[in-house]
Structure 1
Amino acid sequence: MKRIMMGLSLLTMVMAAHAQDKVKPAADSAKPSKVMAYEKVITKDAVTRQGMFTVHLVDNKYFFEIPDSLLKRDILVVSRFISTPEMSGVYGGEKASERTIYFERGQGNKLLMRVDIFSARVKDSTQAIAKAVQSSSVKPIAAAFDIKTYGPGGNMVIDVTDFFRKDNGALSLDSDVKSDLKLGSPADDRSFINSIKPYPINVEVRTTRTYSTTGVAIPAAALSGFITLEMNVSMVLLPKEPMRKRLFDERVGYMASKYFLFDEDAQASQEKYLIQRYRLEPKPEDMEKYKRGELVEPARQIVYYIDPATPKKWRPYLIAGVNDWQQAFEQAGFKNAITAKEWPEEDTTMSLEDARFSVIRYLASPIPNAYGPRISDPRSGEIIESHVGWYHNVMKLIHDWYMIQVGPNDPRARKMEFDDELMGDLIRFVSSHEVGHTIGLRHNMGASSQTPVEKLRDKTWVEANGHTVSIMDYARFNYVAQPEDKIGKAGLYPRIGAYDKWAVQWGYKLIFNTKDEFEDSKVLNKWIVDSLAANPRLWFGGEGKGEDPRSQSEDLSDNVMVANEYGIKNLKRVVPELIKWTAEDGDMDGNLDRMYKGVVKQYSRYLYHVMKYIGGQYITNKSADQPGNVVERIPKAKVKEALNFIGRNLMEPPLWLYNREIAARLKMNEMDEIATAQNNMLVTILNAGMMYNLIQKYSDGKEIYTVTEYLADVKKAIWKPLTGDALKDTYYRNLQRMYVEKLIIAVNTAKPKEGRMLNNVERSDAHLYARAHLQQLKNEMMISNVPGALNQTHKAMLMKTIDKALKGDDK
């Protein structure tokens, strides 16, 4: 009883203490800060600019004057590089970070800046579940400002000098950028504000920031241990009313933002995505015309400006690449929806860093690339602006592709410096591709697979339709075309195609008489089902990162085995001409080396395209109301065709690639390079994992393809009988040894490794099939005759190796 009373007494004391905690006075930090008279803070010497916020500069301090009307309004904050250290790998115009923030009143004359996060949403804000979502979605406070004074109309005045001068969570560089540059602590004494300029819906802050760094590859860092960056921060007021959302569908390739949807009528949260797109709407007076199907101009046109740093001769081609998209937007009901203009250099009120303007930036970089990012309203997916990055050396990239892929078809491609017209055409195609990303489109690496291979050599057809249905594919140029086809540039260049027009229609055409994006998605689904049924070529094949061989970069046609045979025929025409095509006064064979390596790389691509047909499968995303399978095995005839291609074009050594004249000028190791390529291919097609893959995919159904049959096909394509030809037999003996070596490795996969259990591949029948095939190979070798003493010694050694492996003797 005494213990119970003591326990109750202790409980009473704890409860009393807890009650006292509840009535504890507020912390000192919540005490009101001292508010001064307006004229004491914003003195008569202040330099004042009006805009979204009124900005004052007083004695080297910057103040924002923020009206109540902008509290709780979402503001997109985008940091971009203006100037960067030489060889740093980042360039002016590139985005460094992106946040969404808003201001709200805090306790004690504080103005809080919170970071807004949109990862959880409710379908209906009136549902009780909305309260649960809200209570678990507290927005982080990025900064707390003292309100220094109140201006006319009660506007709050805060000092933002240190906020922009120093590093902070809201404006900090993204972690991957810091990692790439190996940045350490900011040096506050060498970081400062250059200017803050307000505009009607945005504020532009230009700063200089210095960081310690260990990035010794950057010359400035190696010399001083620091790097200095010039940055621009754009604070863009997001629309008061977000644009109508449109939900992502994996059958149409759009960039998208992820969130989790909570709905009382659903028994689980749902993972949803919003597509990113510009807000295109008819002018109010044209709405009825639009509904009737008449083309109308949008209330706000999509405009891209050309960076004045861009060489003047290329500007018209970059502009043309943007304007090419007008035809796609017409399919969505808009005319003149998109255009490009030269930057008005005489207009001093405009800034390249102003987030209201989309710009194609010209970057002085040796990187052979271009990119098309965009920033979007996280609430709705509305694209606010885009900055295409155009690296100078992208011209080197497209030059080399064009010479190597279609040099035999276009005499203009047979030199190291293209004429301006040809280079301009190629710039136009890259411009169109990158602008496609900026309007929201992802790569469609499956697009080229929708063109029948024979049509790529049909002059009339391919010049009218193009060699791929999407410029968002990496289809590059029509390498299938042969010189005798006499196909002109209209059939060689990529262009905006049927898929691109359809994708823009799906993403941008307005939907009427629906309540919300969820009802819209039903209409959008019907558009997809109906359109794909009418025209299967509109299929979106994804980014080319999966196992579907139809979705690959740099490939062409519905049959890459046939297409790439034509590609190799063209490479065989290119190689003997390379010395002549690459000749320039004073060049020390640097051009020849570069272009020859490009040919080898192109040849390797052809092999890789074909290899993906071995062990892959077709994947066609479908909704429940679409007929047919989502996952389909690749017909075994295609697998056999792929093996035969590899046998002809790699296992039969590609000596044509090692031209004697070129070898006399460049260092070549053909035997080593060919053996490496053959070995890498055999590792893929003769390993136990591939056999296990085949067991799973082809052991039932209409079409059986046994591992035994597969290995027989592999042997037929790869095992080259010895002939007595000294050079060829050198390659064939090496290939036979590699072949046996890979089979022995497959046999030995079933042997337990010390300290661990076998995995599914090792435990499967794969090693049995490999063993049986090895036994059969030994039997065939016993009765075969080979010419020459060296070949006979090779045969004897190989049989001895096989015999040891079959007996389990690893010594």
Structure 2
Amino acid sequence: MFRFKLSFLFIINLMVFHLSVNAQSNNAVLAKKYQTLVSKAEISDSGFISIHLNDNNLWLEIPDSIMGRDLLIGSRVEEISSTKNAVAGQMMHNPMLVRFSQDDKSVYLHVIDTEKVMDAKDPISISFDRNNIQTIYTAFKIEARNARNDASVIDVTKFFSNQIPQISPFGGGGSGKVIPEVTKTTYARAYDGNVEIITQMGFMGKRSQFMCSLHRSIVLLPKEPMQPRLASAQINYYEEVRKELSSEYMDVKNYSYIRRWRLEPKKEDIQKHKNGKLVEPKKPIVFYVDNSIPEKWKPFIKAGIEDWQMAFEKIGFKNAIIAKDYPVNDTSFHANDFTNNCFRYITTEKANAMGNHWIDPRSGEILQGDVLFYHNVISKLYQWRFSQTAANDPAIRGNMNDVSDEIMGELIRYAAAHEIGHSLGMKHNYRASYAFPVDSLRSPSFTKKYGTAASIMDYARNNYIAQAKDKGVGLTPPLLGVYDYFAIKWAYQPIYEANTSEEEKATLNRWFEERSKDDMYLFGAKNGMGDGTLDPSVLTESLGNDVVKASRYGAVNAKLIMKNLIEWSAADELGDDHLRWMYDGVIKQYNRYFKHVEARLGGVFEFDLTNEMHPEKYVAVSREKQKEALDYIMDELLGQFDWMKSEDLEKRLGSLDEEIIKAQGKKIEDLLNRAVLVRMYTCTTESKDPYAVSEYLSDITKRLFNLSAKKQSTDWVRNLQVEYVKGLQKLLKDNADKSGHVFNNLIMADIHSELESIKNIAIKRAEKGNENVKKHFSFLTYILE
């Protein structure tokens, strides 16, 4: 037995010896291949990962020290021949968090999931590890080892010549099949912390072919992530979700980190900052402004970027965010490199702007930001400004090309600052406009101080409430709102006394409590509660804390603008196409007022419980306020529609009757929306002051049918009555809509009862009035049979 052990050890040692010899031989071969590869490379560049490029063949030289380190791989569009799927500079997805590992033959690319977390010291972590192994996305054969034998070389040509779904710039559905013959690597650079690769790619879609160059970045993340800050439902920051498992509790603990930049003082300035001194951050946020932006607009865009300096200064950082031009004659600058934050100009017909950012998903640290500013957004900004304020402001009237640069620049500055807010990590705050009393928006002193909303991150454009006679009133959003200053403080002010995210919570909560009696610090991100219920304090494009009063003011202005539209839009100079565009803008604005008011019907306010002004989390809109909303809608529907058309307008635009009739039908459809009726029924059972479905339908019927003979004789009214009857019948026929809102039998009974009431009215009216009225009610009687 003893001799057997000796023999076995001898065999093992012999095997190890042979493996060692083979390994040395293999390393020698790989080293020789390295020399051959490097000598043939047209481009070799050293960085944290070195690159070698030769005749479309791309190799990465990955040091052993990088194995197991966290990295990001992301993608954006460099150039493109068709903007149907994406535009130059756009990134459609967050980058992948990855790690490399290797054995003696291959290097493996692992995709890391950060959503589920567990303390490695927890006893149940053994099970956690078994059920959450790292995904191997792909493997690369080791082609060579460098001369120092501390780095492996892999061929990534095919990897970057194919679509990588997780970082494709074309969304989830892809864009077509890659054409290999026109696909090649055209650029590769290596730096201390990132690698940049550009691949020219051809795609064959279902109907056409197009070209696109994709810019991929590989980024080395710091060994120690930034200390994250825990998210709160009371603040408007994008979040990184975590699901923590622990043996201390049976359920999964859900929490989130906010997305924010790493903003901290230089080491030598920490004490100064603690003492309240203004200091420059260790690494400021620098945004480069696209050199293709028209020169006259650049100062306004830079101002919009640097407006956020005011908020950062309040927490002790000066020059925290800086706007610079693209460097000129600097070959080392590439706008799409990961290290650069850019405000990009997109020359397409799309009227939009969007702010994005890339993050370290381990901590929520924003590593890179971008704004896409589309060419036609400027015309959209003008259309909004005109349709919302032309009744009050003569300076916005006339030839749009002659509107002063100051006015247009103010609009561009607002849009730039809003999108930079997104790049700083902020979501929209749709409740910020609700903080202001409606009549305060007619006050020169109030609007000059606060603008139109408490946050620039609201969709509160221009002051459509200010009436023609209101002089000196501010018409535009603030540079930054009261809420924006607080949001920057909450996310970015260092809390030196806290060593962990958990320890920060007490201070963060205290900041909320200090502002709990002021509606300017309220936050609302969504327009509903997931069940179709609307919150009338959280709406887009709305102003003030009373949607009915605000909409009445807005409707007065819309009618005044339409009355003077030909003259005020300079139609004689700019032509009928421009007039049509401006007409549509005024009608869209007017229609928004209906949408705002409709949110009261079956609506429910949702407030955070910690706010002293609103101690109840859910509060149903009162019956009185709902009836007030219906009154507004019916007043507008039954008013004279001649303001939407005139002989002069129809000479230029053609008959507008059909458009108006269709619009009427849409308004009736909205009033009879299943979601509205289901919400009302729900509130009837839960509210102390309900507006029952039966009463609501009865009120509509009374307003539509209890009319003077003169009013009843108009085509508009007769069309509304028919649309209403057809709408009720459709509800009985189709019990559920596409969104899943299903009527119960009690709602169905209310609808049937209302149709019977209308039938009785129609039978009686069919025998009275002029021929048109008789014919109309005979028709209603017919369709009600």
TM-score, length of structure 2 as denominator length = 0.89
The equivalences for 1:122-201 within 5 A come to: 122=118, 124-163=119-158, 165-167=160-162, 169=164, 173=168, 176=171, 178-179=173-174, 181=175, 183-184=176-177, 186-201=178-193
Cα offset, 1:688, TM superposition: 6.5
Tell me, yes or no, if the aligned pair for 1:476 and 1:494 is still in contact at 8 Å. Answer: no
Match of 1:209 in 2: 201
One-letter identity of the residue aligned with 1:242: P
Decide which of 474, 492, 495 is 1:508's aligned counterpart: 492
One-letter identity of the residue aligned with 2:38: I
In structure 2, relative to structure 1, the CA distance for the partners of 1:643 and 1:300 (3 Å cut) is: same
One-letter identity of the residue aligned with 1:419: S
Cα offset, 1:170, TM superposition: 7.8
Q: Distance in 2 between matches of 1:594 and 1:60?
A: 49
Tell me, yes or no, if the aligned pair for 1:203 and 1:234 is still in contact at 8 Å. Answer: yes
Cα offset, 1:615, TM superposition: 1.7
Q: Distance in 2 between matches of 1:55 and 1:747?
A: 68
Tell me, yes or no, if the aligned pair for 1:687 and 1:742 is still in contact at 8 Å. Answer: no
Tell me, yes or no, if the aligned pair for 1:317 and 1:425 is still in contact at 8 Å. Answer: yes
Q: CA RMSD in A?
A: 2.9
In structure 2, relative to structure 1, the CA distance for the partners of 1:36 and 1:577 (3 Å cut) is: same
Match of 1:603 in 2: 590
One-letter identity of the residue aligned with 1:577: N
Cα offset, 1:793, TM superposition: 4.4
Residue deviations 1:265-308, cap 9 Å, x none?
A: 22111233221110011112222232333333211111101011
The equivalences for 1:513-532 within 5 A come to: 513-531=497-515
Q: Distance in 1 between matches of 2:689 and 2:54?
A: 81
Q: Distance in 2 between matches of 1:800 and 1:729?
A: 20
Match of 1:41 in 2: 37
Cα offset, 1:548, TM superposition: 0.7
Question: Structure 1 residue 284 and structure 2 residue 275: aligned?
Answer: no
Match of 1:66 in 2: 62
Tell me, yes or no, if the aligned pair for 2:606 and 2:619 is still in contact at 8 Å. Answer: yes
The equivalences for 1:246-395 within 5 A come to: 246-395=229-378
Match of 1:17 in 2: none
Decide which of 667, 683, 706 is 1:681's aligned counterpart: 667
Residue deviations 1:722-743, cap 9 Å, x none?
A: 42468x5322233233334444
Residue deviations 1:11-49, cap 9 Å, x none?
A: xxxxxxxxxxxxxxx9xxx99795232433322876432
One-letter identity of the residue aligned with 1:589: D
Question: Structure 1 residue 723 and structure 2 residue 713: aligned?
Answer: no
Q: Distance in 1 between matches of 2:777 and 2:211?
A: 66
Cα offset, 1:801, TM superposition: 5.6
Match of 2:6 in 1: none
Question: Structure 1 residue 427 and structure 2 residue 412: aligned?
Answer: yes
Residue deviations 1:320-352, cap 9 Å, x none?
A: 001111122233332221111111112221111
Match of 1:583 in 2: 570
One-letter identity of the residue aligned with 2:472: I
In structure 2, relative to structure 1, the CA distance for the partners of 1:625 and 1:464 (3 Å cut) is: closer
Tell me, yes or no, if the aligned pair for 1:550 and 1:618 is still in contact at 8 Å. Answer: yes
Cα offset, 1:512, TM superposition: 3.1
Residue deviations 1:449-485, cap 9 Å, x none?
A: 1110010101111111111001111111011111211
Match of 2:682 in 1: 696
Q: Distance in 1 between matches of 2:71 and 2:549?
A: 54
In structure 2, relative to structure 1, the CA distance for the partners of 1:760 and 1:542 (3 Å cut) is: closer
| Identical pairs, percent | 30
Tell me, yes or no, if the aligned pair for 2:96 and 2:166 is still in contact at 8 Å. Answer: no
Match of 1:765 in 2: 746
Match of 2:48 in 1: 52
Residue deviations 1:368-393, cap 9 Å, x none?
A: 11111110001111001011101111
SS in 2 for 1:665: helix
Q: What stretches of structure 2 of length at least 5 have no aligned partner? A: 1-18
In structure 2, relative to structure 1, the CA distance for the partners of 1:665 and 1:60 (3 Å cut) is: closer
SS in 2 for 1:313: coil
Cα offset, 1:423, TM superposition: 1.6
In structure 2, relative to structure 1, the CA distance for the partners of 1:264 and 1:88 (3 Å cut) is: same
Tell me, yes or no, if the aligned pair for 2:450 and 2:478 is still in contact at 8 Å. Answer: no
The range that moved more, 33-42 or 259-268, is 33-42
Cα offset, 1:587, TM superposition: 4.4
In structure 2, relative to structure 1, the CA distance for the partners of 1:178 and 1:410 (3 Å cut) is: same
One-letter identity of the residue aligned with 1:675: I
Question: Structure 1 residue 556 and structure 2 residue 543: aligned?
Answer: yes
Q: Distance in 2 between matches of 1:782 and 1:209?
A: 70
Cα offset, 1:501, TM superposition: 1.3
In structure 2, relative to structure 1, the CA distance for the partners of 1:131 and 1:174 (3 Å cut) is: farther
In structure 2, relative to structure 1, the CA distance for the partners of 1:338 and 1:760 (3 Å cut) is: closer
One-letter identity of the residue aligned with 2:355: G
The range that moved more, 348-357 or 33-42, is 33-42
In structure 2, relative to structure 1, the CA distance for the partners of 1:163 and 1:622 (3 Å cut) is: farther
Q: Distance in 2 between matches of 1:297 and 1:96?
A: 33
Match of 2:77 in 1: 81
Q: Distance in 1 between matches of 2:762 and 2:203?
A: 69
Tell me, yes or no, if the aligned pair for 1:82 and 1:232 is still in contact at 8 Å. Answer: yes
One-letter identity of the residue aligned with 1:767: M
The equivalences for 1:657-668 within 5 A come to: 657-668=644-655
Cα offset, 1:639, TM superposition: 0.6
The range that moved more, 636-645 or 716-725, is 716-725
One-letter identity of the residue aligned with 1:342: D
Q: What stretches of structure 1 of length at least 5 have no aligned partner? A: 1-25, 754-758, 805-811
- Paired positions, count: 751
Residue deviations 1:560-586, cap 9 Å, x none?
A: 111111111111221132222333677
SS in 1 for 2:72: strand
Tell me, yes or no, if the aligned pair for 1:747 and 1:768 is still in contact at 8 Å. Answer: no
One-letter identity of the residue aligned with 2:138: A
SS in 2 for 1:188: strand
The range that moved more, 654-663 or 677-686, is 677-686
Match of 1:480 in 2: 465
In structure 2, relative to structure 1, the CA distance for the partners of 1:373 and 1:690 (3 Å cut) is: closer
TM-score, length of structure 1 as denominator length = 0.86
The range that moved more, 257-266 or 443-452, is 257-266
In structure 2, relative to structure 1, the CA distance for the partners of 1:171 and 1:601 (3 Å cut) is: closer
The range that moved more, 535-544 or 301-310, is 535-544
Decide which of 109, 120, 125 is 2:116's aligned counterpart: 120
The range that moved more, 405-414 or 781-790, is 781-790
Cα offset, 1:154, TM superposition: 3.0
In structure 2, relative to structure 1, the CA distance for the partners of 1:576 and 1:536 (3 Å cut) is: closer
SS in 2 for 1:269: strand
Match of 1:497 in 2: 481
One-letter identity of the residue aligned with 1:551: V
Match of 2:395 in 1: 412
Tell me, yes or no, if the aligned pair for 1:459 and 1:491 is still in contact at 8 Å. Answer: no
In structure 2, relative to structure 1, the CA distance for the partners of 1:535 and 1:722 (3 Å cut) is: closer
In structure 2, relative to structure 1, the CA distance for the partners of 1:462 and 1:569 (3 Å cut) is: same
